Amino acid sequence: MAVTENPQANLFPSSPVAHPYFADLYTFDWSKASFAIPALCCISIALCLVIGVLVGHPSAGLIAGGGAMTIGFGVNQRIADSRLAPMIFATFAMAISTVVGMTVGHHGYEILIAAGVWSFVYGLLTARAAGIAWVGQQAAVTLFVTSAFPAGPRAACERALLLFAGGALQILITSCTLHLIPELKAQLFEFHRLAIQSPLEQTSDLILHAHSEARRRTLHALREIPLSLPRLSHTASFTYAIRLTLTVVLSAEAYRRLGIQSGYWIPMTALLVQKPAFFETFVRALMRIGGTLAGAVLSTFALAHLHPDPIVLAILATLAAFLGYVTNSVNYALFSTCLTSYIVFLLSLNALPGPVIAHRRALCTIAGGVIALVIHLDALRRHRAQPTST
């Protein structure tokens, strides 16, 4: 189940920009809406959900569909000019986070440690390289989601494989439809070679095959990744990472004490709405909460009046996913509305009561947004203490 955004949108601007604090609340930039690529990304989601229903395992279908949904957002990301690298890295990162999240669960103190590590790394990555930061964001979100389903190593690996399969299907379909197959082949071959060869063999192979343009581009992309990591001496990024970690750990503690599966929305919301500036966090939290409440009402109304069967639920979830892709860059509140509807329809496939899902998600989203704002009260105090220029 995907919760995504551009993690690097003007987090650390080089100079202040004249911008109304609440402009994002009422701004709908439809020029950024796209319909062709979202439609392509929804193919894998629909396949996962419908196949899951037809074979009698809707829960497996929704897990794979959630992986496909998340990786679909990676089409708009880049790592060293590669469209596929973020999607590939995110697929592996989400699989690893799934195993860790289900292993630590949400009842013990282990979730606090894992949440702190994942959020701190994501906070550092957000300072640079939007594509890499997006991968870190998806890894953290997956950790929170899967911690709601504590299980042993076997069940954790099975869920990770389903998530991986959905992501891989999305990458394959996207590559075919966007004519990225040559790039996909080159990158997968290079990942496999680097994984099985010794350093000496790798060096020899690089010399022998330096003439290969496809391989050269792949290696260039891999070499660029360490260069994209932030420097710890960057005071702004390090401070933001510390603040984000504190926010997420406190939210994870609230989640742990609450003790319900839907509680993972508390640290997830805190992670996604927390920004360096108080007013950015405040507006983000308002939009997230407002969109979640709207989506909860709309999806609950639809379920109460349509009484859909599993196939119709799969279609509704795919439609909501499509609208989520379309509105992701248009308006964050509108995107949150579509995302909430998608999740309610998705979980209803697993015979979970839609109204209960919507109600709990709304409450947990509000709690996560409030915690993020409370952590920022000191920033608001400093903002008010600053002398105004005349």
Q: Residue 23's pLDDT is what?
A: 73
How far is it, in rounded angstroms, from Cα 42 to Cα 367? 31
**Would the pLDDT of 307 be above 70?**
yes
- 152-178 pLDDT per residue, tens: 999 999 999 999 999 999 999 988 887
Among the listed residues 359, 320, 364, 297, the one whose alpha carbon sits nearest the alpha carbon of residue 62: 320
- 195-249 pLDDT per residue, tens: 555 444 444 444 444 445 444 555 555 455 444 444 444 566 788 889 999 999 9
In the chain, where the domains are located: 33-385
Mean pLDDT of 356-379: 84
Q: Residue 198's pLDDT is what?
A: 47
Q: Residue 284's pLDDT is what?
A: 86
Mean pLDDT of 178-195: 59
**Would the pLDDT of 71 be above 70?**
yes
> At residue 279, what are phi and psi to the nearest 5 degrees?
-65, -30
| Mean of the per-residue pLDDT values of the chain | 81
Please answer whether residues 361 and 340 qualify as being in contact, where contact means their C-beta atoms are separated by less than 8 angstroms. yes
Higher pLDDT, residue 117 or 31: 117
Q: How far is CA 253 from CA 119, 136, 244, 263, 371, in A?
A: 14, 21, 14, 10, 11
**Would the pLDDT of 43 be above 80?**
yes
Q: Residue 21's pLDDT is what?
A: 60
**Would the pLDDT of 355 be above 80?**
no
Least confident of 104-113, 123-132, 231-240, 279-288: 231-240
Least confident of 71-80, 175-184, 297-306, 356-365: 175-184
**Would the pLDDT of 382 be above 60?**
no
The segment with the largest mean pLDDT, out of 182-191, 211-220, 248-257, is: 248-257
- 213-222 pLDDT per residue, tens: 444 555 555 4
Sign of the alpha-carbon torsion through 147, 370, 292, 27 = negative
Please answer whether residues 41 and 174 qualify as being in contact, where contact means their C-beta atoms are separated by less than 8 angstroms. yes
**Would the pLDDT of 82 be above 60?**
yes
How far is it, in rounded angstroms, from Cα 279 to Cα 239? 17
**Would the pLDDT of 251 be above 70?**
yes
- 140-155 pLDDT per residue, tens: 999 999 999 999 999 9
